[in-house]
Structure 1
């Protein structure tokens, strides 16, 4: 028996152990972040279990609309949306490490009562892609974490800061497997839930997005409303003028987690541009654009709004929207160049 290979095979790296290893590099660390992350992981496990039950015919009662409830975006909520939001809010508050929570499903930010207050702000979309629940497409949870300036006197201004100041970001994808992708500011790692152990195990260490990809991802149903730059870029994807092969279109839609996960692993570009119908973009800045842009940059990619680096944007309100182009650096640079040329021509 190859004892070295056997030792490596049994040296299982859980997400908790991984984070503790990262925190050990910072002597001043008190373990608060590990506790917070454990509560986020618990929420992800709960939602994963609920999603799996939903996919079983015997538990179809979870399918359907939650009465007349709509969220702040005016979208109908599935029962699982409501449940997921409640689970994460309770898990985050009970961790004793949070002071402000911003959820896609809640109109106002949640300020944690002083007795349970900690120094972290968590922004999150508890169930991204919920409109795809009934057809079995991968859905997920997206989150970002900031540090508050003064936990004894937190204000909404503490939330409205650029994504570049995030401490950590990640997403958990619920599909054929349950995968949690996380960055704490020193690269990106992917963990897959082992149902037999009930633990997220490191399966995708140090994820690096390819410098250039062969896939573009965009809702072409909005093409008639695009600006000239987006139209030209997509035309170049289909009919490249340099003699290279055309890019392939891959777009799941309504499930940003699934589209971004594929882009992160295989390369290419994910686009949700501003257009005539949604001039300010459609994706939410705090809990969709920022966390995904943070992960892309940490993996060696880029994220661009059509005007500037996505992580440099300063939010003015918690549910603000933004356009975004994110993915492989060469692909994002190409669309940056097109916007720069268009701006120069307009002067």
Structure 2
């Protein structure tokens, strides 16, 4: 099995970007270790604080954010960072070539039940015309990403990565601490009979999504004329990993449960990097009305609806949203 750096070099990835990816992974390996220690590491449970999203922070949210933040700022390659846990951009090296947006611990509500969580990251080139501490550094569409990936902390620790030449999956070999290539050129099947959605929100969805899911649940006797299975892990990183592994559709659609927050997922930290991975694997990512990676961000913590996965199924879901 091949190691990370030689694999990326063969894809023409420059040494600076390889070093930056390895820097992020150094923090992720430490997060992985602390997760495996669980209560022994004193990282379980919640704090009394809320993050900028208005969500109660888990202890490991704070630890993970600080681990990634420290290694990135010390790397010398990063001009600016943006985290789901930080209100504003944090300035790094003024000569840094890259900017990094990240969700330090996606699905952190799963920590205390020993279920799947992950780290998501997105890398862009820095804008030389803007200060390092300017939020506008990150107001770029997802199509401008030069790299995106996630690390899934499960029975094994896995990295899904794209630099624009397909998607590769690496597995952490804990005997020597390196990530080894285990799946080359991941491809999402165009058709599927599996979907992931938080069904408890059904009464709050828009009518097009209500009808789409009702038709899936009707099975062979319904208008789709085939049976579908539903899966839901409550961590985007885990549900998207399943889509990359065997196809499917994942969605967190618009809802009116809280009229001030009709969308759940963050464009910069979750939707864009996952969309890049899915598109590079042959899938599609949409809001139901437009391609996610074509959206021009207006703020650091902007949220969007997300429908992504197997091409033909996402296209079908989009048709329900057409006027």
CA distance in 2, matches of 1:60, 1:237: 43
Q: What is the CA distance between 1:245 and its match in structure 2?
A: 2.7
Matched residue pairs, number? 318
TM-score when normalising by structure 2? 0.94
Q: Deviations over 1:243-284 (max 9, x none)?
A: 64311010111x111111011111110010001125641101
Cα pair 2:116 2:233 within 8 Å, conserved: no
Cα pair 1:13 1:201 within 8 Å, conserved: yes
Task: Spell out the pairing of 1:72-151 with structure 2 (5 A cutoff).
Answer: 72-114=52-94, 117-150=95-128
Q: Does the C-alpha gap of structure 1 residues 153 and 75 become closer, same or farther in structure 2, counting only changes over 3 Å?
A: closer
Say which SS state the counterpart of residue 42 (structure 2) adopts.
Answer: helix
CA distance in 2, matches of 1:32, 1:239: 51
**Equivalent residue for 1:282?**
264
The unaligned stretches of length 5 or more in structure 2 are none
Q: Does the C-alpha gap of structure 1 residues 153 and 252 become closer, same or farther in structure 2, counting only changes over 3 Å?
A: same
Q: What is the CA distance between 1:20 and its match in structure 2?
A: 2.0
CA distance in 2, matches of 1:202, 1:120: 25
Q: Deviations over 1:17-68 (max 9, x none)?
A: 21222236xxxx4x211111110110111111111111xx5x06322223x2
**Equivalent residue for 1:7?**
none
The unaligned stretches of length 5 or more in structure 1 are 1-11
CA distance in 2, matches of 1:310, 1:152: 25
Note if 1:300 corresponds to 2:282. yes
Cα pair 1:126 1:140 within 8 Å, conserved: yes
Pick aligned residue for 1:53 from 33, 37, 52? 37
Q: Does the C-alpha gap of structure 1 residues 50 and 267 become closer, same or farther in structure 2, counting only changes over 3 Å?
A: same
**Equivalent residue for 2:218?**
239
TM-score when normalising by structure 1? 0.88
Task: Spell out the pairing of 1:196-235 with structure 2 (5 A cutoff).
Answer: 196-235=175-214
Q: What is the CA distance between 1:113 and its match in structure 2?
A: 4.4
**Equivalent residue for 1:250?**
231
Cα pair 1:119 1:151 within 8 Å, conserved: no
**Equivalent residue for 1:40?**
24
CA distance in 2, matches of 1:332, 1:61: 41
Say which SS state the counterpart of residue 31 (structure 2) adopts.
Answer: helix
CA distance in 2, matches of 1:201, 1:302: 27
